[in-house]
Structures are given as C-alpha cells and as structure tokens.
C-alpha cells in the first residue's frame, strides 16, 4: 500500500511534519471516509434520533417545532461537527489539508451563486415532472403518505410567523447546515477521497453520498446534483468557504420562500387548480438551463487563474 502524503488544495505536498494517524497505521483514506460516515450516521441518526424520540417524539407539529429546531442544531453540533473535527485531526495534522480556507473572489462567488439559483429553478421543474410519473396503485398508496409526511415536516420546520422566529429558522436551517455539513462532506470526506482518486471523482462521489445522507427519496436526484455542485465549487476554487456560501444560499432561499408563501409560484404555468401550460413550463426549463450554463461558464472563466496556481 502506498504512503499517503498530505497536500495543499492545489496538490502540492505539505512540508514534512509529524505523521497523521492514517499515515502511522497505513490506513486507506477511502476506508477511513466510509468509517467516519458510518460512525457519524450512528451518532446523529440513531443516538440523536433516539434522544429526540424520548424527549419530544418524532412528529413535528406547530406546538413542538421550536424544540425540534433546537434539538436539530444541538444534534448537528454534538454528533456531526465535533466528530468531524476530531476525525479531520486523524486524517491530517494540518487543518488546511482537510479544510481549504482560501477566500473566494467576488466574481466567482457571484457566478457560483447565480448558478445555484438557476439550478434550483431547474430542480423545481424536474420535481414537477417527477410528481406526474404514473405509479402502480399499490405503490402509490404506500408512497403518497410518506411523501406528504416529509413535505409537511419540512414545511413546518422552515416556516416562521415573526421576524425573530425567521432569524432563528435561518440559523437552524441555513447557517448551521451550511457550515457543519460542508466541513463534513466537502472537508473531511472529499479530502479523504482526494488522497486516493482524482479531485473530480472525489467531488462526484462525495456529492452522491451527500444526497443519499439526507434520506429524502423524493428529492434524491436534485440533492445529489447539489452535492456534486458544492463539491465542484470547493475543488475548482480550492475553497470550502465558497461551498459554504452557496450551500447557505440554497437553504436560505427555501426559508424565504416559505416565509413569503411563495411555494405555489415556483413554476409558472403549473399552479395547482389550473390548467397546465406545458409550452410555458418547457420554455422555463430551457431558459434556466441556458442561464445556468452561462453562469457556470463564467464561473469557470473567472477561476481559471486559481486552477493555474496563480492565486492562493
């Protein structure tokens, strides 16, 4: 088995230092990543879920939603953030080898954010079509209650009635996940895979795992694509900060949409209770795909100097 060498985000070996835990025991970084995911899954979903069940139950209602939000951010901190930082220390003695902290420029942040916004519109149209895929009646009877439960739980968690509640929801739903999940996935996991496969493949595999980790079968394709997008931004810009920023934007948009009751206006021509305007929906799909392509191409252009190694 080859020796694992810590490297900077642009692939250069770091100066010699005390060997990491993985180097001392010659542990595969890929196996280490999978073990970390399994242990964090047990801590957050099993231990955290069990504590939530005994304290307030699993059903999210308007009466207990504040307790659920509080337990969510506490659980993410205790069972995801702290283990991630501990495991990162085992992966490398140098924090920057796991969490690349380069501050992105304004241009790359703008184009990456625009790409996210247009991608979200594409996802809304994709989900519109997905909901209209006919299923056998027996399967439909099983799937529909689960889908409604997930949608209702999410809607209750992100909805708010006052500005102070809105700010707390943004903290729980947007700020905390953007930081904590990015440290886990685009930091610990992606950095681990980058030690054994190409950075592009590491971003793709981490994105797939990210989507599956959210346990929402009805949005798994958009979640996986989002995970890949965050991972690609982190790889291309050599910055976990940009991935955090765009992840925050993705989540805060959902909170704002819920706060202003904009759920039924996401896809023009597809308003419930009226005739479906298919030409308008398809026109939107091609428009937002084109806008995403332009934004993403512009992002690639403004980050060319980063890839060339001309910027730290």
Using an 8 Å Cβ cutoff, are 17 and 97 in contact? Answer: no
Question: If pLDDT is split at 50, 70 and 90, which confidence band does 103 have?
Answer: very high
- Give percent of the chain with pLDDT exceeding 70: 91
User: Across the strands, what pairs with 13?
Assistant: 7
Say which residue the tokens 């999978």 belong to. Answer: 34
The token pair that represents 142 in the structure block: 């099983």
Q: Which residues of 21-40 are buried (b: 16+ CB within 10 A; e: fewer)?
A: ebbeeebbbbebbeebbeeb
> Distance between CA 36 and CA 32 in Å, rounded?
6
- The pair phi, psi for residue 166, each rounded to 5°, is -60, -45
Give yes or no for residue 210 having a pLDDT over 80. yes
Distance from chain centroid for Cα 134: 29
pLDDT tens sequence across 66-84:
999 999 999 999 999 999 9
Question: If pLDDT is split at 50, 70 and 90, which confidence band does 17 have?
Answer: low
> Distance between CA 179 and CA 181 in Å, rounded?
6
- The pair phi, psi for residue 101, each rounded to 5°, is -100, 15
Give yes or no for residue 5 having a pLDDT over 60. no
Mean per-residue pLDDT, 120-138: 92
Question: If pLDDT is split at 50, 70 and 90, which confidence band does 9 have?
Answer: low
Mean per-residue pLDDT, 196-220: 96
Residue that wins the pLDDT comparison between 3 and 170: 170
pLDDT tens sequence across 254-298:
999 888 877 656 777 777 656 788 999 999 999 999 999 999 999
Sign, CA torsion 211/214/218/223 = negative
pTM comes to 0.91
Using an 8 Å Cβ cutoff, are 60 and 156 in contact? Answer: yes
pLDDT tens sequence across 19-53:
899 999 999 999 999 999 999 999 999 999 999 99
């Amino acid at each position: 088995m080859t020796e694992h060498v810590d490297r900077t985000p642009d692939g250069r070996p770091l100066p010699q230092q005390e060997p990491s835990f993985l180097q001392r025991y010659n542990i595969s970084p890929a196996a280490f990543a999978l073990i970390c995911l399994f242990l964090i899954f047990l801590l957050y979903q099993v231990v955290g879920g069990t504590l939530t069940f005994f304290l307030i139950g699993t059903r999210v209602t308007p009466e207990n939603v504040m307790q659920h939000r509080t337990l969510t951010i506490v659980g993410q901190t205790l069972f995801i953030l702290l283990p991630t930082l501990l495991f990162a220390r085992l992966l490398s003695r140098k924090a920057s080898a796991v969490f690349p902290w380069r501050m992105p420029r304004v241009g790359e942040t703008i184009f990456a954010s625009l790409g996210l916004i247009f991608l979200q519109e594409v996802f809304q149209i994709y989900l519109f079509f997905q909901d209209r895929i006919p299923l056998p009646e027996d399967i439909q009877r099983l799937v529909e209650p689960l889908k409604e439960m997930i949608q209702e739980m999410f809607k209750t968690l992100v909805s708010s009635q006052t500005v102070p509640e809105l700010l707390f929801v943004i903290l729980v739903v947007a700020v905390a996940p953007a930081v904590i999940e990015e440290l886990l996935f685009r930091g610990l996991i992606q950095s681990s895979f980058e030690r054994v496969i190409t950075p592009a493949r590491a971003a793709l595999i981490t994105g797939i795992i990210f989507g599956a980790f959210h346990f929402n079968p009805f949005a798994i394709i958009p979640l996986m694509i989002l995970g890949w997008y965050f991972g690609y931004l982190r790889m291309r810009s050599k910055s976990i900060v940009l991935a955090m920023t765009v992840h925050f934007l993705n989540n805060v948009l959902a909170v704002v949409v819920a706060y202003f009751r904009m759920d039924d206006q996401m896809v023009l021509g597809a308003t419930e209770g009226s005739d479906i305007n298919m030409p308008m929906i398809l026109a939107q799909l091609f428009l937002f795909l084109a806008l995403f392509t332009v934004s993403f191409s512009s992002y690639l252009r403004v980050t060319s100097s980063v890839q060339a190694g001309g910027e730290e």
